[in-house]
Amino acid sequence: MSIHSILRNALSTIACLALIQGTANAVDGVLLINQSNAIAGNVTPGDTPGFPVSINLPGIYKLSSNLVVPNENTTAIQINVHNVTIDLNGFAILGPNVCATDGFNVAQPCTKPGNGMGIDGGTLVPFNVENTRVMNGTIDGMGNIGLFANVNARVEKMNISSNGSYGIYTFGGVILDTLVRGNGNTGITTTGAIIRDSRSIFNRGYGMQTTNFSVISGSVIATNMSYGLVISSNTRFVDNLIDNNNGGIANPQISGGTHTGDNTCGSAPCP
C-alpha cells in the first residue's frame, strides 16, 4: 500500500471518529453534558477539565447522565452568557451535603455546607447573564445554593433539595411546578417573579421570600423554620396552602404581601 493510501485511510478514520464524537455530544443542535465530558473539559470553548462545566456559548444543553461533584465546595455548571437552557432530562446534579428531614419536621443542620452550587447562572458576571432556563431534573446536596440565576430566569419541573444555603435564588422570572425541600436556608428567594404550582417545605429559613411585585399562586408552603412567606407589600398571593411554618400554625405564617383569593393557613382562611 502506498504512503498516499495510508494517509487517506488515516484521515478517513479520523473524520469518522470525529463524526462519532460529535454525534455522541450533540443531538439536533442540543449539546449533551455528562460526567465523562465534564471531567474531560471543552464542553464549550474555554471550559477546562473537571468541574465546573463552563457554559460560554448560548444554546440548549441537556444532561445525558447524572453529574456528581467531588465535594461541597465545587460548582457543577457555571453559566457565563445570556440565553442558555439547561434541560436535566430527568437526571440529577448531586453533591455530598445532607440536610436530613423525616418528612414531618424542619430539616436538620446541613452536614457539609460549602461554596459549591448546582447551577450558577451568573455570579461571576452579575447582571450580565440573562434568560437562563432550567428544567426537568434534580439538584441535591450542594454545599451552597442549589440554583442561582440572574434576570429573566425560568425554572420548571425541578426538585431542589438538601443544599447548604438557598434552594433557588433568582433576580426575577418564573418558577413553575417545582419542589424546594429541606435546604439550609430559605427555599425560594426572588424578586419580580411568578411562582406557581410549587412546594417549599422543610427548609431552614423562610419558605419563600420576594421583594417587589411578584405573584405566588397554587403553591404549598409548609413546615419551614421561619415564616412561610416574607414578601413585599406589592406582592400578592392567591390560592396557596400555608401551614406549620415558624414553629407551628399558632405562630404568624406570613409577613407582608397582599392577600387575594383563597389562601389557607392550617385548616382556616389566612388572616
Residue 182 in contact with residue 163, Cβ under 8 Å? Answer: no
Distance CA 180, CA 161 (A): 6
Length of the chain: 271
Residue 163 in contact with residue 140, Cβ under 8 Å? Answer: yes
The residues facing 60 across adjacent strands are 85
Q: What is the pLDDT of residues 204-239, one digit of tens each?
A: 999 999 998 999 999 999 999 999 999 999 999 999
Q: Which own/partner pairs from 226-234 qualify as long-range (CB within 8 Å, at least 24 positions apart)?
A: 227/252, 227/253, 227/254, 227/255, 228/200, 228/253, 228/254, 229/253, 229/254, 229/255, 229/256, 229/257, 230/206, 230/254, 230/255, 230/256, 231/255, 231/256, 231/257, 232/256, 232/257, 233/257, 233/258, 234/258
Q: What is the pLDDT of residues 61-118, one digit of tens each?
A: 999 999 999 999 999 999 999 999 999 999 999 999 999 999 999 999 999 999 999 9
Give the start-to-end residue ranges of the domains of the chain.
1-28, 34-269
Q: What is the pLDDT of residues 40-68, one digit of tens each?
A: 999 999 999 999 999 999 999 999 999 99
Q: Percent of the chain having pLDDT more than 90?
A: 83
Residue 271, preceding peptide bond in cis (omega within 30° of 0): no
Residue 223 region by backbone torsions, left for phi larger than 0, else alpha for psi between -120 and 50, else beta: left
Q: Which of 207, 200, 159, 153 is nearest to 175 (CA)?
A: 153
